[in-house]
């Protein structure tokens, strides 16, 4: 019985990691950069929900506003911080991303202080099936993640914009020759990634409703690991990696002897997979084009 | 009237000057070829016309409009496109999806369908393999796909960068036949080639590029007969 509870919990946490990992992997695939500020978008989403629920705005509206705000923020960050560096060395872009990450965390501290704040109104209670106690938020998270991933896959595979994203990730120059506005596609990618981050932040708050300025760091870094495990740049890879880490985390946490080492186990998986298969599960060897 | 006019184009890679002030034009309905050895600046010229590389100075005028400050994707909307060197098909997309990417700028569904049917008629091989991922095609098929993809945008001016590179003699003949076919359908062609023999034979006019400069120009026939060209490009 415990096994089933853990499995559902693990899949649901994995879904959250997968959603965040999708942001990393899509941005990497299309803009060829590691957006280390991605985790902090989750934090901004969390604080947005805090602000609005504190004004007794309906939680669903607060979540929608958080998504809108994060999409705006993601697009602005891309335009202001990353776009001017198109063509610059990857190191410069990486350092800029880390700078943006600290900037967002510091802004959060300026506005909300460094203490932990509680978000109310996201607790959906729980229900019992036989002796099984399952929280509603776990199920909502799981179903939403599945819906989002199916929708994203359909979007990428069957829409003109989605296919343009594949084209840009494969060959920016050839994509331009098709008449694709590469900058616009990169912007759309950031917008989608940020929307997913805001959603992931919401589900993370449903699990534990406390928010602080480094709220996004740990899920961010775990989701990044998930993206690398799955093969960075690969959308199904990000989903697979995220689910794997989520399930491992919940099962490890359920065994009291190894629970304190859960994070270490997750990162050990990353290291082992990188040693055995450096491209991740579904990553492709990229031929560097001259 | 010149459809495409290039005036005093200069392109640098860092401090290295790759194109040292070239001028040429392509008139509506012509096939014009730029020939030259490796490193002469042919691809650089093509890429700077398309806006993929920024020229330091000079002008590119297409249909009376100055385009040298436009990004590539806007230039495609004006009715010119390029089959890039090395084909560069989208290997993860299917043949059909690649062709549809070529029609990215087009909105009219019926027109897209008509273009698609026409491409499948010219390249029956692409129809056979339409649901196959482009990465699994042979080099020749990829070249056909790259040409078909470019034609999906119904360009007035089609530029081809070394379309015969790396193909067997039989396929090379086929590629030139298809270029002629596109031309007969009313497309103006700017061709870049190392295969001087074949390309001069189908060209109205040609320019010879050496070290970033145009050193010789004339009709295709004149250049084919020119002793200098024979010596340098046609193997005696």
Give DSSP secondary structure letters for A4-52.
HHHHHHHHHHHHHHHHHHHHHHHHHHHH----TTHHHHHHHHHHHHHHH
What's the pTM? 0.92
Q: Which of B134, B154, B174 is the last residue of a domain?
A: B154
Nearest C-alpha neighbor of B71 from the set B89, B87, B56, B49: B49
A130 min Cα distance to partner chain B (Å): 48
d(CA A94, CA A34): 6
pLDDT in 10s for each residue of chain A, 290 residues: 689 999 999 999 999 999 999 999 999 999 999 999 999 999 999 999 999 999 999 999 999 999 999 999 999 999 999 999 998 999 999 999 999 999 999 999 999 999 999 998 888 888 888 888 888 999 999 999 999 999 999 999 999 999 999 999 999 999 999 999 999 999 999 999 999 999 999 999 999 899 999 999 999 999 999 999 999 999 999 999 999 999 999 999 999 999 999 999 999 999 999 999 999 999 876 554 43
Query: What's the number of domains chain A is made of?
Result: 1
Task: Collect all residues with Cβ–Cβ distance below 8 Å to B185 and sequence separation of at least 6.
Answer: none
Domain that holds residue B53: 2-79+157-233
- pLDDT tens figures, B147-158: 999 999 999 999
Q: Please check whether residue B43 touches A, CB under 8 A.
A: no
Domain that holds residue A121: 2-216
The answer to whether residue A281 sits within a structural domain is no
Structure-token pair, residue A163? 């296919």
The answer to whether residue B47 sits within a structural domain is yes
CB B160 within 8 A of CB B191: yes
The answer to whether residue A266 sits within a structural domain is no
CB B23 within 8 A of CB B6: yes
A88 min Cα distance to partner chain B (Å): 14
CATH of the domain at B227: 3.40.50.300
Q: Is the ipTM of this complex over 0.90?
A: yes
Query: What's the number of domains chain B is made of?
Result: 2
The answer to whether residue A245 sits within a structural domain is no
**Neighbouring C-alpha atoms within 13 Å toward the C-beta of A139:** 11
CB A13 within 8 A of CB A250: yes
Q: How many residues does chain A have?
A: 290
Nearest CA in chain A to B107: A160
B44 min Cα distance to partner chain A (Å): 13
Q: How many CB atoms lie within 10 A of CB A90?
A: 11
Chain B CB contacts of A170 under 8 Å are: 90-93
Chain A CB contacts of B50 under 8 Å are: 176-177
């Amino acid at each position: 019985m415990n096994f089933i509870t853990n499995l559902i919990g693990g899949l649901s946490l994995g879904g959250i990691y997968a959603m965040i990992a999708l942001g990393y992997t899509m941005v990497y695939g299309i803009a060829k950069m590691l957006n280390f500020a991605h985790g902090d978008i989750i934090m901004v989403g969390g604080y947005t929900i805090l602000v609005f629920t504190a004004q007794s705005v309906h939680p669903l509206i607060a979540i929608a506003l958080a998504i809108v705000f994060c999409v705006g923020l993601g697009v602005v960050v891309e335009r202001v911080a990353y776009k001017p560096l198109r063509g610059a060395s990857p190191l410069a872009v990486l350092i800029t991303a880390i700078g943006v990450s600290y900037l967002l965390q510091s802004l959060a501290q300026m506005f909300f202080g460094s203490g932990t704040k509680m978000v109310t109104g996201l607790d959906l209670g729980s229900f019992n099936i036989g002796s099984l106690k399952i929280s509603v938020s776990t199920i909502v998270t799981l179903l939403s993640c599945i819906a989002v991933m199916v929708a994203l896959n359909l979007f990428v595979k069957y829409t003109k914009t989605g296919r343009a994203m594949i084209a840009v990730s494969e060959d920016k120059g050839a994509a331009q020759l098709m008449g694709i506005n590469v900058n616009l596609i990169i912007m759309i990618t950031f917008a989608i990634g940020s929307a997913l981050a805001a959603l992931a932040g919401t589900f993370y708050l449903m699990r534990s409703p406390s928010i602080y300025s480094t709220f996004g760091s740990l899920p961010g870094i775990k989701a990044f690991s998930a993206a690398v495990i799955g093969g960075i740049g690969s959308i199904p890879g990000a989903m697979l990696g995220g689910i794997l880490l989520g399930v491992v985390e919940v099962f490890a946490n359920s065994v009291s002897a190894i629970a304190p080492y859960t994070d270490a186990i997750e990162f050990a998986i990353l290291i082992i997979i990188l040693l055995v298969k450096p491209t991740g599960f579904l990553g492709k060897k990229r031929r560097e084009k001259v | 009237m010149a459809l495409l006019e290039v005036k005093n184009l200069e392109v640098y890679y860092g401090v290295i000057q790759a194109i040292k002030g070239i001028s040429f034009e392509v008139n509506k309905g012509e096939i014009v070829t730029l020939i030259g050895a490796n490193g002469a600046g042919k691809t650089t010229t093509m890429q700077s016309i398309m806006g993929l590389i920024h020229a330091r100075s000079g002008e590119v005028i297409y249909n009376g409009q100055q385009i040298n400050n436009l990004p590539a994707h806007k230039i495609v909307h004006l009715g010119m496109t390029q089959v890039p060197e090395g084909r560069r098909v989208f290997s993860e997309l299917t043949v059909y999806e690649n062709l549809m990417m070529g029609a990215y700028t087009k909105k009219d569904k019926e027109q897209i369908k008509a273009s698609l049917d026409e491409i499948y008629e010219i390249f029956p091989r692409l129809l056979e393999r339409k649901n196959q991922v482009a990465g699994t095609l042979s080099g020749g098929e990829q070249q056909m796909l790259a040409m078909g993809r470019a034609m999906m945008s119904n360009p007035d001016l089609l530029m081809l960068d070394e379309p015969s590179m790396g193909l067997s003699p039989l396929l090379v003949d086929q590629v030139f036949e298809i270029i002629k076919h596109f031309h007969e359908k009313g497309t103006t062609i700017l061709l870049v080639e190392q295969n001087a023999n074949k390309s001069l034979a189908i060209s109205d006019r040609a320019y010879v590029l050496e070290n970033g400069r145009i050193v010789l120009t004339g009709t295709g026939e004149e250049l084919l007969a020119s002793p200098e060209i024979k010596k340098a490009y046609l193997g005696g």
